[in-house]
Amino acid sequence: MSEILLFHHAQGLTTGVRAFADELTAAGHTVHLPDLFDGRTFETVESGVDHAREIGFDNVLAKGVAAADALPKDVVYAGFSMGVMPAQKLAQNRPGAVGALFFDSCLPVSEFGSWPEGLPAQIHGGVDDEWFAEDLEFARQLADSVPMAELFLYSGTKHLFADSSLKSYDADAARLLLQRTLSFLAGLA
């Protein structure tokens, strides 16, 4: 079973993100869920992004990276949208990473250096998601250049479709994303 550090999206640590973490825990994994916004949640992605901009994306990133300090080295780093920032930085730079899960976002690998040899990854995003559209090229580059990286695209979904507490939730796509995530984690054992 895996130890997972899961970062929330720009709307905060919502009940939907907690529910997703609970699904992973129910499957036998240990999930750490740091709150990068100190309990604040937001009605829209835009208002959450405004908050992150106000407190500084660099501060959000630093707080996320610091959340790994007390954890062992062999961790799977995961994030939803904005949470991919610290997840990807840790996956690429903290020695011992065993996997990376990026939901609704993917940054250029060059943002944090190079991709560690042998590190598996999954990227999940919506084909019709206007937020993910700007990251799709980076997701494809990662999937094409890393033998153990997979890109899964979901048609007809909106941004943050796997968060059951949001209007954008798509139960069928979220169920498939969870199945693929659990399969990925099982393959790490």
45-53 mean pLDDT: 93
Does the pLDDT value for residue 189 go beyond 80?
Answer: no
Distance CA(138)–CA(134), nearest Å, equals 8
Query: Which whole-number Å values give the CA distances from 120 to 20, 142, 143, 183, in the listed order?
Result: 21, 11, 10, 12
Where residue 98 falls among pLDDT bands split at 50, 70, 90?
very high
Provide the pLDDT for residue 114: 96
Number of domains forming the structure of the chain: 1
Distance CA(170)–CA(155), nearest Å, equals 11
Where residue 53 falls among pLDDT bands split at 50, 70, 90?
very high
Q: Which is it for the CA torsion 69, 73, 79, 84, positive or negative? A: positive
The parent domain of residue 34 ranges over 3-188
81-87 mean pLDDT: 97
Q: Which residue from 22, 177, 11, 18 is spatially nearest to 101, judged by alpha carbons?
A: 177
Where residue 88 falls among pLDDT bands split at 50, 70, 90?
very high
Residue type for 15, please? Answer: T
Q: How high is the mean pLDDT of the chain?
A: 96
pTM given for the model: 0.96
Edge-to-edge order in the sheet of strand 121-126: 30-32, 3-7, 76-80, 99-103, 121-126, 149-154
Residues in the chain: 189
52-64 mean pLDDT: 94
CATH code of the domain covering residue 173? 3.40.50.1820
Report CA dihedral (141, 138, 99, 66) to the nearest 10 degrees: 150
